Structure 1
């Protein structure tokens, strides 16, 4: 069957924008994803054109030359028809209607079907927050012309206005190109554009056009695909700390930056003075500042000047035991080097380095080191287990696990009872618990005893321009763990760590479900990960839920897995409304994209199983996830799904993925799965394996750029009978 072509004649709100204009986007560059491969979108919309100037410049003629019987023409103008310049200006019930009729006639002469659209609304609200329509009589002129000429009309003015009103003055900002200075490299001076959409807004308007086509009942609506699985959500404003304009210098409190002097007392005196004054900035000048753990206070900014290294003590006796949280449950731990609890307005800024002295704490697996490195480690002291495969810094550290397990089984809450295991209870470099208005901006955080950055149960967290480093062999050497946090932005950061790099968590098993604090409203963008078990990870501790997450414009180089979702029976919790876009990956040893509900170390050792278990509060749910515009050069598997047979991964939309991998797509137990515009270069096996999957759509599947068909898909299992044919 000859493909149907959908031509678009319009202005900047519908136009296609190149990468250098990102995140600006027109709805016309998004509408194609809502059609099957039987419809080709030809977007001729042009920035700055009115219904008149579009014709005068010859753009309509180009469409006419290409258009044929059975095609469609979407016509949307109005923004620029209101301009005063004579080259663009038209009058609503005069020349505007006259020019629009020229489009209608041109389409009909070619045997095509014209469709009029009213202009999309600008974002305009008055001082009282009331929406103000922006197009005067032009929308009504379109409606009347459509009725007179007997053509379909999509009232995008009304539809977009309703959407803006529902979002409100603040919420609607999320649809437009509104950026702070230096927030995006394409807009170094920022942007406050209330006319042009960002990519999220363009998708939203494209969905309204889709709705209009369905309401019109035209034959082309038969080729519309499913609705986007991710509902539109508004990222709330993440509030920065409010630090008083008051400065203190560490050296004024007796500190010496020679790398030998213990500055713990000087730091504590400086923090106390700052706190008693009502807050301010504590400046740490160039030098090596040796110190014990620091307890931060409200309205405090630690500012490290370039050349400053804060090196934390490697003497275990310097670290008191406290009640904290680790791996999703309440736990006794050594106080973190950077520690805060129930504080507000905290900032750590500058170009300095915070070194956690983690080599003194961490156990090391022999298999992660060369023979020479292992021998050097043994010569430095410590002890090894009976098998000789694990080095520990002390006998107490090696025996600590058994002591802690016994005390937890007995329900012991007395912190002092855990003292014999202190060497084992290594701290995270940064632990902020139940804090608000946190900013980390600029420094390097490295060499942590355990996880590097761990905000827990905190709100309004901004992490930007930081570097996070842990040795690749470090046990539990996570980079960032946002744990049960709300309203967080992570941007322009670099990670090179020994475990998951950027990880979202929300508690573990029953304890996490009882606490019920989801990790939600999180935006992560423009980050680079050089090493880690996962570039971006959700789980496995996700029992309180993870939702409303956006990951975009990130690069993962050599991470064990690229995009990683993990959980297991017993966790419970819901992971939903996750949007991932524009991710680049290189040399991934494992899966580029992985959903594994049989997480390694739990039941099944990471391998999918087919025996159904009863659904209960411990059954994890993963649903409503979109992954768009991903490229991967080198991976073991392009996409792996190991869902639970009793609770399949549901409503996953994967669009525009290009990957070179040993295997293609391997899916076990997925439901309402859409794989659209997938281009794979694989070494072994079929492009797609579907095992016990339901309601699957395969749209525009390619092998090395050439169209693929049913021969490239292996379907197994009774449930897979509902798989749609490749389109």
Structure 2
């Protein structure tokens, strides 16, 4: 029987027509079928399982060739209804594989993708053009586990299936300075559009977990990311030079920023010139004792604008929202809107710095001064906080248009630090406890003008999901 079967929609009560179709389909042998349904931006006309291409889910056998053979085969259906690859229960050891367009990768709830720990199995690719070098080392970088470039309409999803980066060996090499190239990420999609990454658990990534870059129209939802809180650079989700993205209903415990918004590094990012904009972050739960819940930068040299974050819960994290930039970065961070944060045990509720440093090389332009303006924080409750805020702009180039409203911060009893530390900033505040620094001029309680949040919706919010299905044939 051909491995490609047209998807039959799952229905709880089979119509007579469906019964006939199924009966006709199976009259040669007795089988039972299990129908899996999932929500996606697109459904597919053709399906296959990794086992159809020799995949073995024993946790020992390498499946790199099986994944690539499957995707190469399915790519022929790109213009004929698209395709989906099903990963059944098992532990599927693999190195990197490349996706194709109009394609869905679906992980069963009991499927685990295990990233190979053999460094020699990871191809080395060029540095990102907006970075000029790798993040860990000069030069190239190891390709990501799940990789795609110049794609349209890609779905990576599952019934909370697992991707295990087996990152400990990479973290050890990083700490010992034994890395030749920058560590791989778990998922990286470049120069692509119409992307969905949903309903998966990602654990122990070698470095960043999810990295969409130079892409647009992206939905990331229902993702659980877990890594030891001291693991190096295990950022959760890093939208990088992306337009029209929504990140929602995610739970992240990691050793670095839970969401890090980026757009290139110093002169390379300035030259590439692709901002991150139209980004919504909603219903995020974050634990990251040494990093931020949401970080803007530090690599922001293509610009960051129109970021909307709401309904955020953070527990034991270093800072709620952090803006990181410095001389040489250029560009801007502007039109940032945050509302509805609950913060429990933090070093800082809010943190901005214009003195981040960390340059790719010594060729950056000392006259490339970043502009930070129109930053709005409102409706925040924080408890057990060491300092309310540390807000430091750039001498001669203050961060302006900062607005903080309806914020209650309970300072930890053990704290001996000033509640607010502000230099080279300008803005307003209203109904904020403890009383902010003088540079945030108090507008009085209930100031109507305080701290905007956009009322319009982003285009990505108007994407309609479809109910798709996959039928597992069981002899």
For the superposition of Structure 1 and Structure 2, which TM-score range results when normalised by the shorter chain? 0.7 to 0.9
Change (3 A) 1:581 1:303: same
Question: SS of the counterpart of 1:558?
Answer: strand
Other-structure match for 2:117 = 314
CA distance in 2, matches of 1:328, 1:485: 15
Other-structure match for 1:339 = 147
CA distance in 2, matches of 1:261, 1:499: 32
CA distance in 1, matches of 2:77, 2:196: 21
Other-structure match for 1:666 = 421
CA distance in 2, matches of 1:438, 1:284: 19
Counterpart check, 1:526 vs 2:263: no
Q: Say if 1:241 and 1:299, in contact at 8 Å, map to a contact too.
A: no
Structure with higher strand content: 2
Other-structure match for 1:454 = 211
TM-aligned CA deviation for residue 317 of structure 1:
0.9
TM-aligned CA deviation for residue 325 of structure 1:
2.1
Other-structure match for 2:94 = 291
Counterpart check, 1:696 vs 2:453: no
Q: Decide which of 429, 440, 444 is 1:675's aligned counterpart.
A: 429
Other-structure match for 1:300 = 103
Q: Decide which of 378, 391, 396 is 1:641's aligned counterpart.
A: 391
TM-aligned CA deviation for residue 539 of structure 1:
0.5
Q: TM-score, normalised by structure 2?
A: 0.78
TM-aligned CA deviation for residue 643 of structure 1:
0.9
How many correspondences in the alignment?
Answer: 387
- Consecutive unaligned residues of structure 2, counting only runs of 5 or more, are 1-39, 135-139, 360-364, 447-475
TM-aligned CA deviation for residue 241 of structure 1:
4.6
CA distance in 1, matches of 2:258, 2:328: 24
Q: Say if 1:457 and 1:485, in contact at 8 Å, map to a contact too.
A: yes
Computing the radius of gyration from Cα coordinates, the structure with the larger value is: 1
Q: Say if 1:328 and 1:505, in contact at 8 Å, map to a contact too.
A: no
1:51-200 equivalences in 2 (<5 Å): none
Other-structure match for 1:50 = none
Q: Say if 1:470 and 1:479, in contact at 8 Å, map to a contact too.
A: no
Question: SS of the counterpart of 1:631?
Answer: strand
**Post-superposition CA distance 1:133-181 (Å, at most 9, x none):** xxxxxxxxxxxxxxxxxxxxxxxxxxxxxxxxxxxxxxxxxxxxxxxxx
Question: SS of the counterpart of 1:362?
Answer: helix
TM-aligned CA deviation for residue 299 of structure 1:
1.2
**Post-superposition CA distance 1:249-296 (Å, at most 9, x none):** 111111111111111121111111211122311111111011111111
Q: TM-score, normalised by structure 1?
A: 0.51
CA distance in 2, matches of 1:601, 1:560: 19
Q: Say if 1:241 and 1:344, in contact at 8 Å, map to a contact too.
A: no
**Post-superposition CA distance 1:387-445 (Å, at most 9, x none):** xxx843xxxx52x5xxxxxxxxxxxxxxxxxxxx2xx4311121111111110110012
TM-aligned CA deviation for residue 696 of structure 1:
2.7
Q: List structure 1 segments (4+ residues) > 4 angstroms apart after TM superposition.
A: none
1:32-51 equivalences in 2 (<5 Å): none
CA distance in 1, matches of 2:165, 2:194: 23
**Aligned-pair Cα RMSD in Å:** 2.0
CA distance in 1, matches of 2:141, 2:189: 13
Q: Say if 2:429 and 2:436, in contact at 8 Å, map to a contact too.
A: no
Q: Decide which of 124, 132, 137 is 1:329's aligned counterpart.
A: 132
Question: SS of the counterpart of 2:270?
Answer: helix
Other-structure match for 1:356 = 165
**Bigger relative contact order (CA 8 A; separation at least 6):** 2
Other-structure match for 1:632 = 382
Other-structure match for 2:52 = 252
Other-structure match for 1:561 = 319
